[in-house]
Structure 1
Amino acid sequence: MTEADPPPFYAAHIFVCTNRRAENHPRGSCAARGSEKLRDYMKARAKELKIPDIRVNTAGCLERCEFGPAMVIYPEGVWYRPTSVEDVEEILQVHVVGGGRVRRVMLTEKDVPPPKG
């Protein structure tokens, strides 16, 4: 962020991939791995916890299909692959509310898709 940039509109802006590919697609898809349920839980739980200045959005393909369900939290740009509502709960509590990281479900620079055909 430079001096000329406006302040972020949200303290946390979370994008959850809900892309769905054909069942037999070699890369799979986040929706087939339950991302819609996790997104819905995150939205409802954030509201229930009254977390201020947060937005949970549906995203199309985030290009990390092999590691899905995938989500990314801005402004930090931290990527996660939650597989349960318990993971989502921990991400909300530790990352969004507490400012920490949930390392066990983080996607890192080592988690890259295989080269395209």
Structure 2
Amino acid sequence: MTDPKPYFEAHVFSCTNRRPDGNKRGSCAARGSEKLRDYMKARARELGLDGRVRINAAGCLDRCELGPVLVVYPEGVWYTYHSFADVDAILETHVIGGGRVERLMLKPEQKELLPEQVG
């Protein structure tokens, strides 16, 4: 038996978890993830991705120090992002084009942002 066709071509989970101010790990919401997620949803609609791609808010994805973070499935590619331009790059290059935005990609072992990833 083969798996059924996925319901969505891509599923983007954007962490919108908020920790109390002063938490040593910080939180994605405190770094602007809610505003960026809202922009991503609107931009996805503008690009005609409705029905094919789902942009979701997620609770803590446990990569707080690298946030805001998102993960794109089915590939399981993780990104940090800090601006509308970063969101546009992820949507256009990864979600639509099938490529990768290498400067924003997070490696599994990564514990801190690289200079080119800092917003």
TM-score scaled to structure 1, two decimals?
0.90
Q: Does 1:88 align with 2:90?
A: no
From 23, 27, 30, give the equivalent of 1:25: 23
Residue of structure 2 equivalent to 1:102: 101
Report the Cα offset of residue 4 of structure 1: 3.1
SS in 2 for 1:57: strand
Quote the offset at 1:6 in angstroms.
Answer: 1.7
Aligned residues: CA RMSD:
1.2
**Shift of residue 76 of structure 1?**
0.3
Q: Which runs of 4+ in 1 moved over 2 A?
A: none
In the TM superposition, what whole-angstrom CA distance separates every residue of 1:68-89 from its partner, at most 9, and x where no partner exists?
Answer: 0010000000000011000000
Rounded Cα–Cα distance in structure 2 between residues aligned with 1:109 and 1:43: 26
Could you say which residue in structure 1 is the equivalent of 2:65? 66
TM-superposed CA distance for 1:111, in Å, is 1.3
Please name the residue that 1:5 is paired with.
Answer: 3
SS in 2 for 1:96: helix
State TM-score, norm by structure 2: 0.89
- The number of residue pairs the alignment matches comes to 111
Mark the runs of 5 or more structure 1 residues left unpaired by the alignment: none
Overall identity of the aligned pairs, in %: 60
1:8: Cα distance to partner? 1.1
* Structure 2 CA distance for aligned equivalents of residues 111 and 7 of structure 1: 32
Cα distance in 1, alignment partners of residues 76 and 49 from structure 2: 19
CA distance in 1 between counterparts of 2:5 and 2:110 reads: 30
| Structure 2 counterpart of 1:20, one-letter code | R
Measured in 1, the distance between the counterparts of 2:109 and 2:103 equals 14
